Structure 1
Amino acid sequence: MGNSSSSLKVCTDHQGGINWLSLSPDGQWLLTGSEDGTARLWSTADSQCRGHFQGHESYITFCHLENEAAFTCSADHTIRKWDVMTGQCLAVYRGHTSIVNRILVSKDYLFSGSYDRTARCWSVDKEKPIQEFRGHRNCVLTLALYSSQDLLQDSEEEESEEEKLSKDFLVTGSTDCTVKVWWVSSGRCHQTLLGHTGAILCLILDAPNRELFSGSTDYTIRTWNIVTGEQLRVFKEHQGSIICLELVNRRLYSGSTDRTVKCWLADTGERVRTFKTHKHSVSALKYHAGILFTGSGDACARAFNTKTGILQRVFRGHKLVINCIQIHNELLYTASHDGTLRIWDIRPLCKRGKRRLKKERSLQGRSSQKGSLSRLFNNKVGCVVHQEDGREQETVELM
């Protein structure tokens, strides 16, 4: 069993639950969005609160942090942009007619999804709505974005000149049980992915493999070919809604209301491991240095060895559900509905994890070298070694 761990610091500045936690690309800042209608900026160097963003008229549902700008969306139907250094509100994006659930920032564009059944695209600098995506019959809960340069360059589909000029596609998941793919340039629906029988709660893209994974309240995860829209696989062993997904080295981790995390081979859909011991829903996942960190409705975070599934540490101290986790410089940050941000030292765990990964890579290298020597020897005597190569590759993948 894992050992309990106490936090290095507890940040109690918020007056309401923390709904989301975002880390800046350079790792210098954290942003928390809260039920109290404010966002706060935290320095990862000293864990001090360096900014307090006020202006929303209702609770903040989600937040996103760039190096110089912060973005928040709210139940007040708006999105706001903030200057990280001054705390000044730089822009207010108005147009949605209900709660804004999610935002996504890409270069000069801001994307949003709302309970008003639409997603929208905005010009970040001009507060200008560029596109509206209409077609869902219910709330838009989750978003993803990809470029045609990454995923469609080998497509043989017939395309209009307008579509050929377009590079970006927006993916939306809704409580109407569908996933939709939209041309950003025209706002037109490119594909509707049908198969789920429950709300879509989470999406994750694997651009190099042109695959999209969707998690739903129907207890399944589905994999789609993002080019053709074809459903490739269905992951069926969960006994509750899929709340969160994490994809690492073609291993898919799924957190569920059934109190477990499952690890799947993304290429085949085979379940290879189940992580238990949670006493409530698994609400957050993060992989780091061979360790899977989880946040749960039982107010605890946990660390599991991803190879063995063994629980290595339990992080206790929160009083309510952990909504989000981040990791930076071998510190674990957990944000909870109890209104606190907690910081935990995970250096001992990370050192062990890195030693294990280094050892595994060394063993893989020796196995590969052994296979090369065997091939040289067997080639001299005319033996066929395809089976040996196959075993070596399988061993590498399982490590």
Structure 2
Amino acid sequence: MGEVRKLQKKLRQIENLEIKISLTPEERFKISRKAELRSRLAELQLQLSGPQQTLGIVGDGKKEKMKRQVEDAPEALPSQTPPASKILKGEEQSKAQATPAPAARQRERGGGAEIGRRREGTEPANVSDQCRDADNEQHLRQEEAEFTSLKASWEKARFRLRLLEGHNDIVTCVVAVDNLVVSGSRDTTVKVWHVPTATEHKNLGGHTGGVTCLAAPPPEFCKRLAWSLSLSDKERFILSGSADCNVKIWALSIGQCVKSIYTFNAVTALCFVPEEDGYIITGSDGGKVQAWSWHTFENCQSINAHQEAVTSVQSQGPLVFSGSAEGGVSVWENRCSDRDPLRLLHHWSGQVTGCGGGPAGRLTLSPRGDRVFLAHGRAWLKILHWRTGAMSRLTNHSSITGVTDCAHQTGGLLIGSCYDVANGESSLNLFSLPQCRYLASLTWPDAPRILCFAAWTTGSGDHRWVTGGRDLIVWEQLPRSGKQRGDVTVRRDSRLESCSLESEGDSEDDEEETDDCEDDEDEGRAGRRDSAEEDGGSGSWLRCVLQ
């Protein structure tokens, strides 16, 4: 079993090496052994597999323990968390619904007298309570019927895939604007694609370092900038951040950079906050979060917010969420001020989130109301209830060798990418929101690892997605009628269905998984650490991804 874990560890390291640009001869030799290591791992898994479990998937018998816990536990009621647009108006209600475990413990501690009165049974049940129970039961039946219908529809879903060819390196970020897809790559370019024809529309060259992040301001904010530049009021703009320390603003129709902001730090994440005159929020490889005015393009605030590189920044109304390589998550409130607009509401360290992956880690986040979905390179999606710090996790892969690189929400769907480093299989897992119940998995032959994701819907309500990584691929949902054959295979993983949502009360598996990623036997680690110090302390996540 020890050799199995060592092989899994080496394969995970090789996958991280492959996304580097410059490789040493030693690193190239390690990558060349990937097929050999996968073959040896498959052989060991076959030898060690038994009627009770497959050790290559389960690992040390822990799957059986988790399976017993799931079977013994009562079925959890689906969360009733309201949509993000209503969360600030119903804060107290959402807090109670988003953290059922603490509420249950409080009832256990302080509700003894009430339980005693119920057990005595000296008074008849209140009619209103009976009506309320009946309404709840009816609501649950209706919710279950809706979920069953949704699950059945996704089991029949079909997608046609189209490859967008043009980038010379890994695609690190994508956004969708109308019928256009905009992608950024380590090859330093930003490309604009016309989706209906799957052709390159514009090649936006100007960055001197790898492009790490993109953002699309809403149309009303684009109109303000277009007016000030004497451009058409239909002009759309895109923001791009790069390792060259610049944020560039591009006009898509003319394909030109209309503004460049030098940030003095390698930009690793950014988002646009559509409040008041608008703000650009950037994250740097050194952990700094900065706010820039959309009106003047001047720096409004600089905060040393995280210990390592900021790998994700997202906005939700007046709130800004930032996540970092060491696993920390910060929640900020935008006070719409010319100076220091961001006020820290909460900060949760990597010890709380359980997402610490070391300085080379990568955390991406997707907020929804009081919850933030966290993808952190493990087999789970973590869920942080950011008002209380309560954590739960959503199973996103049936194998401990699975990694989750990104999470995205579209409509009533949560979509998590998963990649198995042991066999190279890649897929997208779909969950219903807000209950986070597993729907289906989508995959196709030779699917590459998915590092970024964007989604939108057509006028007829069908889904269109774009995924980036080694390949840039557009997913177009096919109509249910007709005899068209889709490129995507829809399947269901019973292991994901049986143990999808878990509390963070028992984190043994998570701790062991973290240990798996730390290769104390890797002879090159010390050399990389020394190199990091010589580089002046810049974030190693950025060097790993965009070096």
Cα distance 1:136–1:343, how it changes in 2: closer, same or farther (>3 A)? farther
User: Counterparts of 2:161 and 2:419 in 1: how far apart (Å)?
Assistant: 26
Structure 1 position 222 matched with structure 2 position 330: yes
CA RMSD of aligned residues (A): 4.0
Judging by fraction of residues, say which structure has more strand: 1
The aligned counterpart of 1:131 is: 259
Secondary structure of the residue aligned to 1:179 is strand
Cα distance 1:331–1:177, how it changes in 2: closer, same or farther (>3 A)? same
Q: Give the CA deviation at 1:191.
A: 1.1
Cα distance 1:284–1:75, how it changes in 2: closer, same or farther (>3 A)? closer
Q: 1:13-32 maps to which residues of 2 (within 5 A)? A: none
The aligned counterpart of 1:179 is: 289
Q: Between Structure 1 and Structure 2, how many residues are aligned?
A: 286
Give CA deviations for 1:58-96 in whole Å, capped at 9, x if unaligned: 554333333333333333323233444556654433321
Structure 1 position 190 matched with structure 2 position 300: yes
Match for 1:238 among 339, 347, 354? Answer: 354
The aligned counterpart of 2:403 is: 281
- Does structure 1 conserve the Cα–Cα contact (< 8 Å) formed by 2:158 and 2:488? no
Judging by fraction of residues, say which structure has more helix: 2
Residue 96 of structure 1 aligns with an amino acid whose one-letter code is H
Q: Give the CA deviation at 1:119.
A: 0.8
Q: 1:23-62 maps to which residues of 2 (within 5 A)? A: 47-48=159-160, 55-56=166-167, 58-62=169-173
User: Counterparts of 1:215 and 1:238 in 2: how far apart (Å)?
Assistant: 13
Higher relative contact order (CA 8 A, sep 6+): 2
User: Counterparts of 2:415 and 2:283 in 1: how far apart (Å)?
Assistant: 25
Give CA deviations for 1:192-229 in whole Å, capped at 9, x if unaligned: 1322101111111111xx21111111211111122242
Structure 1 position 296 matched with structure 2 position 404: no
Larger Rg: 2
User: Counterparts of 2:159 and 2:415 in 1: how far apart (Å)?
Assistant: 20
- Does structure 1 conserve the Cα–Cα contact (< 8 Å) formed by 2:321 and 2:367? no
Cα distance 1:55–1:194, how it changes in 2: closer, same or farther (>3 A)? same
Structure 1 position 144 matched with structure 2 position 271: yes
Secondary structure of the residue aligned to 1:131 is strand
Q: Give the CA deviation at 1:113.
A: 0.7
User: Counterparts of 1:319 and 1:90 in 2: how far apart (Å)?
Assistant: 25
The aligned counterpart of 1:34 is: none
User: Counterparts of 1:334 and 1:53 in 2: how far apart (Å)?
Assistant: 10
Cα distance 1:67–1:121, how it changes in 2: closer, same or farther (>3 A)? closer
User: Counterparts of 1:85 and 1:312 in 2: how far apart (Å)?
Assistant: 28
- Does structure 2 conserve the Cα–Cα contact (< 8 Å) formed by 1:285 and 1:294? yes
- Does structure 1 conserve the Cα–Cα contact (< 8 Å) formed by 2:172 and 2:469? no
The aligned counterpart of 2:239 is: 111
Match for 2:174 among 59, 63, 69? Answer: 63
- Does structure 2 conserve the Cα–Cα contact (< 8 Å) formed by 1:234 and 1:269? no
The aligned counterpart of 2:338 is: none
Secondary structure of the residue aligned to 1:294 is strand
User: Counterparts of 1:315 and 1:49 in 2: how far apart (Å)?
Assistant: 12
Give CA deviations for 1:5-24 in whole Å, capped at 9, x if unaligned: xxxxxxxxxxxx99xxxxxx
User: Counterparts of 1:54 and 1:307 in 2: how far apart (Å)?
Assistant: 36
User: Counterparts of 1:262 and 1:313 in 2: how far apart (Å)?
Assistant: 19
Gaps of 5+ in 2: 1-17, 20-156, 220-235, 336-340, 421-425, 476-486, 498-547
**TM value normalised by structure 1:** 0.59
